[in-house]
Amino acid sequence: MSFSYDVKSELCKIRSSGCCKFAQFYGMLLFSRAFSVDCVSIATEHEIVCSTYTHLLNRCFNIHAPVETSGQKRNTFKASVQGKIDRKRIVTYFGHNTTEINDEIIKRDCCKEAFLRGVFLVCGIIVDPNKDYCVEFVLPDSPICDSFVKFLNELNLTPRISKRGNRKIVYFKDSDQIEVLLTKIKASHYTLELMSIKIYKDIRNKVNRKNNCETANISKTVAAAVEQTRAIEYLEDTGLLYMLPAELVSAAMLRKINPSSSLNELCERSSDPITRSGLNHRLQKLVAIAKEEMESEKEE
Ligand SMILES: [Zn+2]
């Protein structure tokens, strides 16, 4: 199965609720096969995406649509809303028009992310980051595509755009942007994988340049660097970082701007003199604080 399939399978396990279930469903409806009073339907190769669509249809509007299968070599999974009154109800609820995304449905940040996840599920493609950094949205060449690009820009995502037949391809090649996008749609497992791959590539390049025998230590170094970077991001996001003692904050900043550096390199770059073990101790401390916080968050 493809890398996209794996990521989508992870995303389909997230059950959007409350306001977000409408937002996610809206994202799926807008870019699926048809969304109008005459036809509301999805056709996809991914069974799990189709069943997420029918699940949301049921949760949001209490409408049941069976999943049908067709195709010989490659299965296609389809579902459509049968009754015209039901279709009208959905289109009216979302205040749908064919030129612009209805901002009212995605006012809140949580809903923006759920909406983006919905769009990614129906028309997103992600390449295995071990091979290349690339995320694409394959969209109809229509004003709604421009509206989607505007929406991405508001989230500080700046895709490139190209044409393929009668489709527009809205795509990302920049690994930092892809990381942000994956975080927003809550593909946390893959965000982490992408981060590890980036750090791994950086370290491997450096080792290759030095041409020494550090190779054996790469995976250990990567694992530690990823763990520290994640901990620091978490502490920053929760606002806890800046409540910590200054020496921990500066250790965190040092690691943050040098995610793939070894301890020795970090020591060299440190503005105040510090030993390798002293720095290691501070980084370990940051990881421990983040872990403790994550645990207590889980318990609440
Ligand atoms: Zn929401």
User: How far does residue 24's CA lie from ligand 1's centre (Å)?
Assistant: 9
CA distance 176 to 101: 26
**Stretch 237-254: mean pLDDT, rounded?**
91
Interval 57-102: pLDDT, tens: 999 999 999 999 987 777 899 999 999 999 999 999 999 988 899 9
Interval 153-192: pLDDT, tens: 999 999 999 998 889 999 999 988 998 999 899 987 888 8
User: How far does residue 104's CA lie from ligand 1's centre (Å)?
Assistant: 11
Q: Which amino acid appears at position 278 of this protein?
A: G
- Identify the structural domains of the chain with CATH numbers, from first to last: 3-184 (3.10.28.10), 212-299 (no CATH)
Interval 27-40: pLDDT, tens: 999 999 999 999 99
Q: What predicted TM-score, i.e. pTM, was given to this entire model?
A: 0.76
User: How far does residue 133's CA lie from ligand 1's centre (Å)?
Assistant: 29
Residue 171 has phi, psi (to 5 degrees) of -140, 160
User: How far does residue 35's CA lie from ligand 1's centre (Å)?
Assistant: 22
User: How far does residue 184's CA lie from ligand 1's centre (Å)?
Assistant: 13
For residue 206, what pLDDT is reported?
73
User: How far does residue 198's CA lie from ligand 1's centre (Å)?
Assistant: 31
Place 216 in a pLDDT band, splitting at 50, 70 and 90. low
Is the pLDDT at 213 greater than 60? The verdict is no
User: How far does residue 148's CA lie from ligand 1's centre (Å)?
Assistant: 18
User: How far does residue 163's CA lie from ligand 1's centre (Å)?
Assistant: 32
Tell me the CA end-to-end span of the chain in Å, nearest whole number: 37
User: How far does residue 111's CA lie from ligand 1's centre (Å)?
Assistant: 4
* SS3 track for the chain: CCHHHHHHHHHHCCCCCHHHHHHHHHHHHHHCCEECCCCEEEEECCHHHHHHHHHHHHHHHCCCCCCEEECCCCCEEEEECCCHHHHHHHHHHCCCCCCCCCHHHHCCHHHHHHHHHHHHHHHEEECCCCCCCCEEEEEECCHHHHHHHHHHHHCCCCCEEEEECCEEEEEECCHHHHHHHHHHCCCHHHHHHHHHHHHHHHHHHHHHHHCCCHHHHHHHHHHHHHHHHHHHHHHHHCCCHHHCCHHHHHHHHHHHHCCCCCHHHHHHHCCCCCCHHHHHHHHHHHHHHHHHHHHHHHHC
CA distance 197 to 126: 15
User: How far does residue 23's CA lie from ligand 1's centre (Å)?
Assistant: 7
User: How far does residue 10's CA lie from ligand 1's centre (Å)?
Assistant: 19
Place 215 in a pLDDT band, splitting at 50, 70 and 90. low
**Stretch 183-208: mean pLDDT, rounded?**
82
Place 263 in a pLDDT band, splitting at 50, 70 and 90. confident
User: How far does residue 114's CA lie from ligand 1's centre (Å)?
Assistant: 7
User: How far does residue 199's CA lie from ligand 1's centre (Å)?
Assistant: 33
Nearest to 148 by CA among 108, 112, 175, 188: 112
For residue 209, what pLDDT is reported?
63
**Stretch 16-23: mean pLDDT, rounded?**
93
Percent of the chain surpassing pLDDT 90: 62
User: How far does residue 18's CA lie from ligand 1's centre (Å)?
Assistant: 7
Interval 267-277: pLDDT, tens: 988 888 889 99
CB atoms within 10 A of CB 135: 25
User: How far does residue 108's CA lie from ligand 1's centre (Å)?
Assistant: 6
Q: List Cα–Cα distances, 254 to 16, 194, 244, 268, 270, in angstroms.
A: 37, 21, 15, 11, 7
More confident: 95 or 201? 95
**Stretch 228-236: mean pLDDT, rounded?**
90
For residue 300, what pLDDT is reported?
64
Percent of the chain surpassing pLDDT 70: 96
Is the pLDDT at 214 greater than 70? The verdict is no
What pairing do the DSSP bridges indicate for beta strands 167-172 and 160-164?
antiparallel
User: How far does residue 19's CA lie from ligand 1's centre (Å)?
Assistant: 4
User: How far does residue 129's CA lie from ligand 1's centre (Å)?
Assistant: 29
Is the pLDDT at 210 greater than 70? The verdict is no
User: How far does residue 107's CA lie from ligand 1's centre (Å)?
Assistant: 8
- How much is the mean pLDDT over the chain? 90
For residue 202, what pLDDT is reported?
79
User: How far does residue 109's CA lie from ligand 1's centre (Å)?
Assistant: 7
